[in-house]
Chain A
Amino acid sequence: MSAAQIEIQLIAALTAAACAIPGTFLVLRRMALISDAISHSVVLGIALGFLLVQSLNSPLLILGAALVGLLTALLVELLYRTGLVRQDAAIGLVFTVLFSVGVILISLYARGVHLDVHAVLLGELAFAPLNRLVVAGRDIGPVALYVSAALLAINTVFAALLYKEQKLAAFDPVLATLLGFSPAVIHYSLMGVIALTAVGAFEAVGAVLAVALFIVPAATAYLLADDLAEMLLLSVALGVAAALGGYWLASFLDTSIAGSMATVAGLLFALAWLLAPEQGLLTQRNRRNRQRLALALRAFLVHLLQQEGRTREEAFPEAHLWRELGWDRTFALRILALAEREQLVDRWQGGLRLTDQGRILAREALHGGEEPPRFPKAGGVP
């Protein structure tokens, strides 16, 4: 790997990690799309700043653009408070207009210098190593590396300092207010961090795909984690994985790095959606299947018990099983095999009867105060 390749991956990974931290709080607080709005609106700030200072890396530009991002959150709130439009419409109205003004400014006045409409959509990660930070005549690495590292540091400090407050606001906003935490401070500190991070992410992935780094790793972690600390760590790890995986996918296909990062982040989510240990689609299906089998098994045992009462000392013919329970033959044989394996029934005089253990279970199912077993409807089970 060349030095430039390593630098690009470092910048991508640091940016993704920095985005994942506030992204986690956004996902929990159901405000994911405010990051979409803010990262679009900072384009206006960046365009204005760029026209003023003619550089993308001036700290003034970064702060100014972050302020415009924060202004978006304020404007959305103001518009919503007039009672004239609902919140979703307020978000959709504010950011599209601010973003449009930014794009128009860039197309008319900044085209082709260092900032063009292409960069707005894709970021300029591939060119990031070209812009070096020179201190006292010595080249100490690309500017973007320091910007992204600083963002990660700021966001880590933010999460550490306001962990308790943000956690409470995410899980129980009413209690948070009752305990005297100011909702405005909690809200706007998060918005400020998002705006600052969005400006930093702009160079790496552009305005539209910043959302992918804020939201997708955090949403994936949400499927896998059980508590907030775990979710934060996981979403940072997933963000870094998406950044590195995206970089290599992009160099393999010779295509956009930012787009590939979003794609890989999406693939990771799809994997978690399918395979997550608690909430994955496959786990959910297996759990449903197991529950259905367990229910059918109990129904079968209870049925045998009732037959015992009626025709004492006679074995229960196997073929009655699917006829009387309304199951199809394959399913009935599956349940029978299960019952035999667990030694709940055995064969006797060419038929079936309950073992002692099976009888206990059947009585428990019938009288044990549990939910009475419901017989599956005919044809309702495969």
Chain B
Amino acid sequence: MTLEILNDPTLRTVALGGVVLGLGSGAVGAYVLLRQRSLLGDAVSHATLPGIALAFLLTRSKEPAVLLGGALLAGWLGSWLVEAITRTTRVKLDSALGLVLSVFFGLGIVLLTFLQRYPEAGQAGLNRFLFGQAASIRQQDVLVMALGASAILLTIGLLWKELKTIAFDPEFAESSGLPARALGLILDTLTVLAIVVGLHMVGVVLMSAMLVAPAAAARQWTDRLDRMVPLSAFFGILASVGGALFSALIPRLPTGPAIVLVMGTLVFLSLLAAPNRGLLWPGRARGRPGFPKAERESP
């Protein structure tokens, strides 16, 4: 099996794509989970769809950089709208998320259906952005994805201490003089970026799972952020590569759902078996979704 993957160029590209995807979304996912923004990821990933369709409509280009650029702008607009709606109306966060999610996705579907009259759109199959399609991934796609993932890892590395404080205790961060708003914005932007990196393989409908699930699994095994981020990235890579290869080898198996299913299994095992917290652990300490207080106060 391993030999087969290394020898087959298509499968090699698919596996590489999986590594890049899992790395980016796994690492950012840790922060998304800790800041309780799991469902913002869902809204933003659906919101990228009209961006992809519009980018194609305006440029007639299928270059991954162009399409993903459109996705990035639309995703960012969606996350801004959620914030603006909750700030200026009495509509609460959950409704604002559902609203942006469904309206942007609806608009995206309208544009995609509209685009089907252009023959060149049909061949490119913008539809693969719905559920992801590992088999259609090319080297230049992986290259663009890798650029996005490197930007994510670099930012996390450079701003490690600051982002850690923001993730655990935004009020403390603000009172200790950190630019909390700007750092929050950076994390939101990294989230959009991670979503865009994964669109090719997982698709807009299920991309949010790749932010939540690896982090939720990693959270069960450790109480420390410096272990949780790499572990979450590791789970992300495991699920992405596994799911993507399954879908490339089994005909008609859609990639996004396959990846999510592998990831779901990893979460389930972690919930059951993780030391001390796991449900099967005898006399387990009552689990807490957050981190212990001591860890919070020594950033």
Q: Do A and B come from one complex?
A: yes
Q: Which residues of A contact B46 (CB under 8 A)?
A: 208
Q: Please tell me if the beta carbons of B113 and A30 are within 8 angstroms of each other in the complex.
A: no
B107 interfacial by beta-carbon distance below 8 Å: yes
Closest Cβ of chain A to B219, distance in Å, is: 7
Closest to A108 in B: B252
The segment out of B85-93, B139-147, B227-235 that lies at the interface is B85-93
A30 to B94, CA, bound (A): 6
Q: Please tell me if the beta carbons of B212 and A262 are within 8 angstroms of each other in the complex.
A: no
Closest to A253 in B: B114
Q: Please tell me if the beta carbons of A33 and B206 are within 8 angstroms of each other in the complex.
A: no
A-B contact count (CB 8 A): 211
Closest to B288 in A: A83
B9 interfacial by beta-carbon distance below 8 Å: no
Q: Please tell me if the beta carbons of B108 and A100 are within 8 angstroms of each other in the complex.
A: no
The segment out of B151-159, B183-191, B257-265 that lies at the interface is B257-265
Q: Could you mark each residue 26-58 of chain B with 1 if its beta carbon is under 8 Å from any beta carbon of chain A, else 0?
A: 000000010011110110001000000000000
Give chain B's interface residue range (CB within 8 Å of chain A).
35 or more
Q: Please tell me if the beta carbons of B212 and A216 are within 8 angstroms of each other in the complex.
A: no
Q: Please tell me if the beta carbons of A96 and B36 are within 8 angstroms of each other in the complex.
A: no
Q: Which residues of B contact A117 (CB under 8 A)?
A: 131, 254
Query: Number of A residues whose C-beta is below 8 Å from B?
Result: 62
Q: Which residues of B contact A30 (CB under 8 A)?
A: 92-95
Question: When the two chains form the complex, which single residue of A85, A88, A96, A258 contacts B219, counting CB atoms closer than 8 Å?
Answer: A85
The segment out of B15-23, B69-77, B98-106, B192-200 that lies at the interface is B98-106
Top 10 nearest A-B pairs by Cβ distance? A262-B106, A266-B103, A259-B109, A212-B102, A100-B257, A96-B209, A97-B264, A259-B110, A215-B98, A83-B287
* Contacts A32-B95, A89-B38 known; 15 new A-B pairs at CB < 8 A: A32-B94, A84-B287, A88-B38, A92-B39, A92-B212, A93-B267, A121-B109, A216-B98, A222-B91, A223-B90, A254-B117, A255-B110, A261-B106, A269-B99, A273-B88
Residues of A within 8 A of B (CB): 26-27, 30-33, 35-36, 79, 82-86, 88-89, 91-93, 96-97, 99-101, 103-104, 107-108, 111, 117, 121-122, 208-209, 211-212, 214-216, 218-219, 222-223, 249-250, 253-256, 258-263, 265-266, 269, 273, 279, 281, 284
